[in-house]
Chains A and B, each alone.
Chain A
Amino acid sequence: MRDYILLFVNGKRNRIDGADAFRTVSDFLRGVLNLCGTKIVCSEGDCGSCSVLCGTPDFQNRRFSYKPIDSCIRFVYQLDGCNIVTVEGLADNEVQGGKLNCVQQAMIDCHGSQCGFCTPGFVMAMTGILEDSNSPSENDWRRGLTGNLCRCTGYSPIIEAGLRSDTKSSASMNDCFEPTAMLDAIGNAASQEITVTSNTQTIYSPTTIDQAVQYLVQYPEVKIVAGATDVGVQFNKGNCEAEVWLDLNRVWSMKTVSLTGGAIVAGAGATWSDIEILIENDLPQFHQILTWFGSPQIRNVGTIGGNIVNASPIADSLPLMFVCNAELQLTGGDGTREVNINDFYQGYKKFDLQPGELLSQIRIPLPEDDEELRLYKISRRQDLDISSFTGAIKMKLSGRKIRSAVIAYGAVGPVVLRLPKTESFLAGKELNEETMVAAGEIVVSEIKPITDVRGGDEYRLQLARNVLLKFLHEVRPEGALA
């Protein structure tokens, strides 16, 4: 058992205990290390000004894997063994020797900064893109920077800076920050459990599910944290005070994800980035939704399990899991049980998870070959926006006939809703405009959306009707015109 966090910042080792371990990373960087290049704007992961690169140790390959994260919604205690690279570290390392990296130079040459406040975050996210690709396309730059807001430039000069970055002259982070010494310094400490306490809080960081479950049985009121993409926001806005925290970031077995037996099998701690890569070819509809979901910084840490137990009626992944009958594996002191996600939720933010139980694994069966699946995520802005409406429609069709239909809508009630009346109405009907218009009227009798900041109830009702028609036009464009 260790009582401190080992964290490298720009290759320099920090041993962090007490209250500092509970700070957000950005707060630690600015307030303790005086690295003020990392900026704070929104404190909720929606602007990317606080972006840093988080290098996670990969002992097998003797290197670190660097990805951009939002440092304002990540806690220090979640990054044991990691190397954080900040904007100050990009030029100031042995390889660069004070010379600006290719992204920094291109941002200067292309007038990619105006007021400069978002610039460090952009530079870090752009450098992160180069960790994954040597020659990103314009689309790669755009998709890679959806987590960074700029209010001055209109982004064009930033896209140009990306395209003009002299990537050949750029050293990778593993070149700039020699991994061996850091990996050796971590050594066996990587597998140790950690408990850090401050005057008011305790964090326990296990490395196995068994340890996690034991702790949970002992302290059922503990606050579980994985990606912290929501907890971090609540913490920053003063809506989350916990005395005891259980961090799942070092439970490696919960982070795996694979396509097995016609299903996505994901540990609850698998990140959306890992899932996104895995399913690109096998479930393109969901892949499209994931590219809009959050931002690279959010998807790099946000977990599938977190999206499920956060239990938001507008969680972007849920409609798919509902129509595919995802099985949730819940692990407690007495063993493991499985629940169909359609039976999991009981009311707003209420669900079938007993005290001492943990969501450990999710199994999402892929649609059959003869099933048509379409997913809908409608929001004020396409990227990095919480949905105004979500939907999943899955139908088994034979010719023009609907053999069966499964529909789940989000943001139309306190939980994601299946629409049994509509589903049974559709079964056996001809797939045409008349059917879908009629189905739309049944749909609106099954849902009760509210008016909030993301849209009015009338708007949501109309979307509920219209996505049925959109489905028709998408899967049977010829038939629809006829």
Chain B
Amino acid sequence: MNEHSQNLLERVKVLDGKSVGKSIPHDSAIGHVTGSAPYIDDLPRRVDELFVGFAGSPFAAGKIVSVELDDAQKVEGVVCVLTHNDVGPHNIFGPLFCDEPFLADGELLYIGQPLVIVAAETQAALAEGINRIVINATASEPVLSVDEAIKQKKFIGPRRQIKCGDPETAINNAPEKLSGTFYIGGQEQFYLESQAAIAFPGEQDQLIVHSSTQNTTEIQTMVAEVLGLSMHQVVCICKRMGGAFGGKETQAVIPALMVSLVAQRTGRAARIVYDKDTDMCVTGKRHAYVCNWEVGFKPDGQIVGLKCDFYSDGGAAADLSTSVMERTLLHADNSYFFEHAQFNGQVCKTNVPPNTAFRGFGGPQAVAATENIIERIAEYLKIDAFDLRLKNTYGQTDRNVTPYGQLFSGNHMSEIMETLAESSNYRHRVAKLPGRNSTDRMNLHGISMTPVKFGISFTTKFLNQANALVNVYTDGTIQVSTGGTEMGQGLNTKIRQLVADEFGVGYSSVIVMPTSTEKNNNTSPTAASAGTDLNGAAAVNGSQIIKKRLADFAAEIFASPEKGLIPSPDHIEFAGGIVSDVRQPGSGIPFSELCNRARLERIDLGARGFYKTPGVDFNRETGKGNPFLYYTQGAAVAEVSIDRFTGELTVPRVDLLMDIGKSINPKVDMGQITGGFIQGMGWVTAECLVYDEKGNLLSHSPTTYKIPAITDVPPEFNCAFFPNDDNLHCVRRSKAVGEPPLLLGVAAWAAVKNALSFLPSDHDPNLSLPATGEEILRCLTEQANG
């Protein structure tokens, strides 16, 4: 980060609180840098513990004829070998639809689909046992692309629609029209810690499951369901994850089920840790999309009508795909007002692992599709794409209703884009592009600005709730537990800050405990960027309940009838570790002393906080409603340079500006912005999922799947917050930050599109996403030849 953005960071308005607003280091930072923060694979092994692994489907589609287990069972050290026959009646599960077999039964759905679980005394015996399993199966022709699925009408769930106005007529009557088909690739989450779980058997058929999961309740529920237990017999615990990005919202279930089944069958502890290749081969990813689009516009660039048909590659089972598609339809407007628009969405069923949540959750594909159209119109009309964007951006007092009927309040889009254009010197740099591109025979240059308006809240209403357990001890220290899980995003750090400020104590007086269904039941996944919004608010609520009791008690202590001061809880202040009556300067006692005295007076120092997001709802049948509490907003300017001969891409400069309200922890939030952007840039440039014709994933490890490296970070990378304190809806006027910056990565792709527009040919090579060197070279070659 350069000095300019550093200064912007420092200048961000912070709140009055002692902890909130400060860039306190990550809750586990010391553990991270010393290697002492344990992940699942680091937990000490119990003496009876078994190694667990599995054998998977050899075919992407087909039928199981027979499975021979005898040889595997005979391997010395193999303790049990389990198939769907050992599971019982509930082998089928799923977060939305119950359509995914835990262990393959009859039909084969994708390569690597778990079929046989093996548990063994040693890693070597496990490997040998898996090797000796013989799977006899017949292969059938797999469906491996969205296009093929559409042809064969292989779909998951109904076709959904969001529509406003009369786009058909509007487009027909428009003076200018364009249409096309846009291909968008998927993306591997590439969390560094692969899927992992341990199960410990307990008394009364209980199981304790440690899982690297974003969703402890989902693990608890699925383990109970599939194993035929009741929910109160299963505890799921997650201390931390080594990254998740959505990939552990539902996909942590299968490994957790495997170890739970082994623990239940053997009465022994059982652990599974996927190796990276296995993880990448058998778990779901960001959905690939195909978007058929049609747009009508005026010669000045105003869009009068837009139609987009989205098809996503859902993989072999529903997982979260229909919800992901819902968010696509809700973000196809990006930050533009469309009077007449129609967005259709259909999830396709194919023979790859069920695709799932990944940071952005369908939003990035929608924004990429829309920005492709914007770039295309700009190129066609030969006007600057930024002017086109400003012209179509949502208004403040009119042109401010989304296609799904929600009023876009708190709209800062134009201001953000203008501010960023200024700070990034956009106009000046764009004006120099034609000259640079006509004289530079080695490289082609392009610049683009793309905005983002990301809706915050789960679009499934009931998930917008959270509970928190707050325990205050007699020495004045506090433990907090919520259903929120820590995957690196700094949730625990922010909750500590929020709770410390509520009680007016130092940050170190508060500790956030491991997430466990024993303490927090019926929780929502830590997802949709709303981890702090929901769990932070619940923790604050729990703190306030205790604080109220303490204030009532302190009011009695400080009351001084002889001075005419009756007990007044309203005048009790918690600050600096001291509790005092503001009417009596110097009256305070330490918070710890108050806690101790409160216990002696039999005052409850524990509480459960609760929060539910007010006013959100969405009718997916009609495609109308108020799904979001507010919008996180931002914009990015990216400059790219393309080798004219090889198609190699570099990104020399990026400027970001994000409105995330009043930051609870500016450096934690800035880390989400830089990390999200680079992840998004990876998706649109170099990250490429390659399958062979049988459905084998060929890019299944970092040797073949290339996420951005440190040298891919733009040499000039300016990131700043847009100062804003108008978000009354969220805890301490903050805003969610996790997903939105990922969508800004689209700017790098749009800049490639812009660079290609400088080639003399009028032929549109229809750049797809990701813009790999290979794809760019295809476009360069086509334009040179066409």
Contacts and interface: CB of A to CB of B under 8 A. Distances in A.
Interface stretch (B289-297, B426-434, B708-716): B708-716
A41 B28 contact: no
Given A116-B240, A382-B711, A453-B698, A154 B706 contact: no
A152 B773 contact: no
Nearest to B673: A154
B710 A155 contact: yes
A47 B26 contact: no
B671 interface: yes
Contacts of B29: 107-108, 111, 113, 116
B191 interface: yes
A453 B689 CA distance: 9
A473 B487 contact: no
B33 A380 contact: no
A208 B144 CA distance: 55
Contacts of B191: 115, 117, 151
Nearest to A117: B242
A160 B702 contact: no
A477 B443 CA distance: 13
B546 to A, nearest CB: 31
B289 to A, nearest CB: 21
Contacts of B701: 42, 44, 46
Contacts of A155: 674, 678, 708, 710, 713
A403 interface: no
B33 A107 contact: yes
A480 B442 CA distance: 11
Interface string A142-160: 1101101111111111111
A300 B770 CA distance: 33
B730 to A, nearest CB: 22
Given A46-B703, A470-B645, A470-B646, 18 more contacts: A34-B44, A44-B702, A105-B33, A111-B26, A111-B671, A113-B488, A114-B488, A115-B193, A115-B240, A119-B35, A149-B192, A153-B671, A155-B674, A156-B719, A381-B686, A382-B650, A383-B711, A386-B703
19 contacts: A36-B41, A104-B33, A108-B30, A113-B26, A117-B242, A120-B35, A123-B33, A146-B709, A149-B192, A151-B707, A155-B713, A157-B670, A385-B706, A386-B703, A388-B774, A452-B698, A463-B646, A473-B441, A480-B441
A456 B774 contact: yes
Contacts of A47: 192, 702
Contact of A116 (B37, B44, B707): B37
Interface in A368-385: 376, 378, 380-385
Given A43-B276, A117-B242, A108 B25 contact: yes
A469 interface: yes
Given A36-B38, A116-B242, A455 B645 contact: no
B677 interface: yes
B777 A462 contact: yes
A37 B36 contact: yes
A283 interface: no
A381 B706 contact: yes
Contacts of B441: 473, 477, 480-481
Contacts of A113: 26, 28-29, 32-33, 488
**What are the nearest 4 A-B pairs in CB distance?**
A37-B35, A115-B488, A117-B242, A116-B32
Contacts of A158: 710
B629 to A, nearest CB: 25
Give the interface centre of A148, A154, A378 by most chain B CB atoms within 10 Å.
A154
Contacts of B645: 466-467, 469-470, 473
B243 interface: yes
Task: Report the contact-size class of chain B (Cβ under 8 Å from the partner).
Answer: 35 or more
A116 B674 contact: no
A100 interface: yes
A434 interface: no
Interface in B10-48: 23, 25-26, 28-39, 41-42, 44
A111 B709 contact: no
B710 A142 contact: yes
B677 A114 contact: no
Contacts of B32: 107, 113, 116, 119-120
Nearest to B700: A453
A74 interface: no
Contacts of A111: 23, 25-26, 29, 667-668, 670-671
B237 interface: no
Interface residues of A, number: 88
A473 B442 CA distance: 7
The A interface is mostly helix, strand or loop, or mixed, namely loop
The B interface is mostly helix, strand or loop, or mixed, namely loop
A151 B703 CA distance: 15
Contacts of B673: 154
Contact of B710 (A148, A453, A463, A474): A148
B77 to A, nearest CB: 15
B489 interface: yes
Nearest to B689: A453
Contacts of A385: 706
B202 to A, nearest CB: 25
Given A149-B709, A154-B677, A87 B690 contact: no
Contacts of B42: 30, 36
B192 A88 contact: no
Contacts of B300: none
A49 B34 contact: no
Contacts of B403: none
B275 interface: yes
B110 interface: no
B121 interface: no
Contact of B39 (A34, A117, A237, A463): A117
B709 A383 contact: yes
A49 B701 CA distance: 14
Interface in B196-211: none
Interface string B480-519: 0000000111100000000000000000000000000000
Nearest to B30: A108
A292 to B, nearest CB: 9
Interface in A453-480: 453-456, 458-459, 462-463, 466-467, 469-470, 473-474, 477, 480
Nearest to B31: A116
B393 interface: no
A91 interface: yes
A115 B487 contact: yes
Contacts of B773: 378, 380, 388
A149 B777 contact: no
Nearest to A104: B33
Contact of A87 (B34, B244, B676, B712): B34
A37 B242 CA distance: 13
Contacts of B37: 116
Contact of B276 (A41, A151, A388, A452): A41
B152 interface: no
B241 A154 contact: no
Nearest to A467: B645
Give the interface centre of A100, A110, A113 by most chain B CB atoms within 10 Å.
A113
A46 B34 CA distance: 22
Given A382-B648, A462-B781, A454 B711 contact: no
Contacts of A41: 192-194, 276, 702
Nearest to A111: B667
B671 A114 contact: yes
Interface string A272-315: 00000000000000000000000000000000000000000000
A38 B36 CA distance: 10
Interface in B600-631: none
